[in-house]
Amino acid sequence: MLGDGPPLAALDVGDSRVLALLAEVDANGHLVVRGAGVSPMHEGMEAGQVVGFRSVVERIKEAVQEAETTARVPMERAWVSVSGPHVVGRLTTTALPATTRPQPVTARDLQRLWEAARWQNLPPGHVVLNVLPHHFTLDDQEHLANPEGMVGSRLSMSALVLSCKEGPLRSLEKAINDAGVAVEGFLFAPVAASLAVLTPEEKALGALVVDLGYGTTNFALWHRSRVLATGSIPYGSNNINTDLVHLYGTTFAAAEQIKRSKLTLLVETVDEDEVVLLPTLAGATHKVARQAACQLAASRFVELLQLVSQSYLPQLTRELRLLSVVLCGGGSYLEGADRKASTFFGCPARLGELLAWQDATGCLTQPPFPVRSAACALGLLHYGSQTIQGRLGPMAARWPRRKSAIWDRVMGFWQKWGKKEGANDHL
């Protein structure tokens, strides 16, 4: 059950499942997850875009209702992740008109800079998703982290502005609204995942976060505590399944099961005589050399890393030495993923265990909640908690409030729990 404060909510609508979380911040400032719900997404999402609207709405409803049942509080508004190749980033600099004499920089000035950054020339059909500040310049003082309170006459800001196609974003928002939840704000998925898995030292020294999803592979490159490059590749761990199906004539369900239970990226550890039994579409059983299947998976994994590297390198304005790589998402559970990434990028790589959170439900460490696949949703909660406490600027896109669908669900939740002892204390 939640305390007296307003709950934090997150929705991660992925290609293979919807994850809904309800949480609160305890007296020590720790994030405590009180409700969790998941619903498999067999169809409806592809590469981060809604392709089957009604199916997506129903899956969101199922996940939200499960989270509400655990937390015993309705999910009214949620922070939502966005992923897919339709999200693009561009470095930009905006400035306020110079004043006739030096004046103190106020919070209102910083807000005006952020609003100015949103009014950029965007590709046709795009809207600003997030503005990720890099540094500020006040007169001849450069690389300022926060100029509020300083005195000067000309203020500018360098930032990474993320934009996305408006159609896919509005379709996702509409699906969430139709499921009875309003959007508190959107945040690009790899940025959210970074907030859950990176330490402050990693953000400062330089780290690449790779979120290996089912249908997409997202990444965010950090240096000096700011995001330098981001991207989303429209391929994920599902491509290993597709390879197995096409090569061996098996089913997608069997390919997924084999991938999870039998495959390793450490091909050299597999004996040449080992075999894997795969059911065929005709109902027979096919014997496959386990080493060959593992080699297929390893080749596909390295290909994904190559695509990530080819995507972030052109975004850098200068040469940058990569000091560490952190892997999260469901694909990071492939045995040997960290060792493969370390070899490919030429630096230490680790699995992205989640930081600074508590699971009061006991759900996130049990199937079907592999905890590293929840990095994005937990990062959304971290962002929400930091925003409420005033520790972050307006990084995520905020959206107008919608009340009708939410009110219907609040009343339904009241009817469901109102007769139970103590339920009124949590509504």
Higher local confidence (pLDDT), 234 or 400? 234
pLDDT at 424: 30
The pair of structure tokens assigned to 101 is 């004499």
The answer to whether 130 and 167 have CB atoms below 8 angstroms apart is: no
Residue 298 has pLDDT above 60, yes or no: yes
Whole-number Å distance between alpha carbons of 223 and 410: 43
Mean pLDDT of 220-239: 94
Contacts (Cβ under 8 Å, ≥6 apart) of 269? none
pLDDT of 28 higher than 80: no
Q: Is 89 helix (H, G, I), strand (E, B) or coil?
A: strand
- Asked if pLDDT for residue 401 goes beyond 50, the answer is no
Q: Rounded to two decimals, what is the model's pTM?
A: 0.88
Q: Within 10 A of 352 (CB to CB), how many other CB atoms are there?
A: 25
pLDDT band at 392 (very low <50, low <70, confident <90, very high): low
Asked whether 172 and 185 are in contact (CB, 8 A), the reply is no
Q: Which tokens in the block code for residue 76? A: 């009214």
Q: Please determine, for residue 411, whether its predicted confidence score (pLDDT) is greater than 60.
A: no
Q: What is the pLDDT of residue 187?
A: 95
For residue 354, what pLDDT is reported? 83
Task: For residue 5, name the pLDDT band (cuts at 50, 70, 90).
Answer: low
Provide the pLDDT confidence category of residue 409 given band limits of 50, 70 and 90: low
Give the residue-averaged pLDDT of 353-381.
78
As a whole number, mean pLDDT of residues 51-73 equals 95
Length of the chain: 427
Q: What's residue 64's pLDDT?
A: 97
pLDDT, tens digit, 9 for 90 and up, residues 307-349: 999 999 998 877 788 899 999 999 999 999 999 999 999 999 9
**358 strand-pairing partners:** 32
Which domains, ranges and CATH numbers included, belong to the chain? 1-198+355-427 (3.30.420.40), 201-342 (3.30.420.40)
Residues 149/109, Cβ–Cβ less than 8 Å: no
Confidence of residue 3 (pLDDT cuts 50, 70, 90): low
pLDDT digits (tens, 9 = 90+) for 88-146: 998 989 999 988 899 999 989 998 988 888 887 788 889 999 999 999 999 999 999 88
Distance CA 367, CA 374 (A): 12
State the average pLDDT over residues 301-309.
Answer: 97
How much is the pLDDT for 154? 94
Give, in order, the Cα–Cα distances in Å from 37 to each of 127, 223, 345. Answer: 30, 34, 35
Distance CA 21, CA 37 (A): 7
Query: Strand 141-144 vs strand 126-138: parallel, antiparallel, or unpaired?
Result: antiparallel
Tens-digit pLDDT profile for residues 161-186 = 999 999 999 999 999 999 999 999 99
Integer Cα distance of 245 and 251 in angstroms = 6
CA distance 227 to 110: 19
Does residue 403 surpass a pLDDT of 50?
no
In DSSP terms, which residues pair with 222 in a beta bridge?
Answer: 207, 227
Residue 152 has pLDDT above 90, yes or no: yes
Percent of the chain, pLDDT > 90?
70
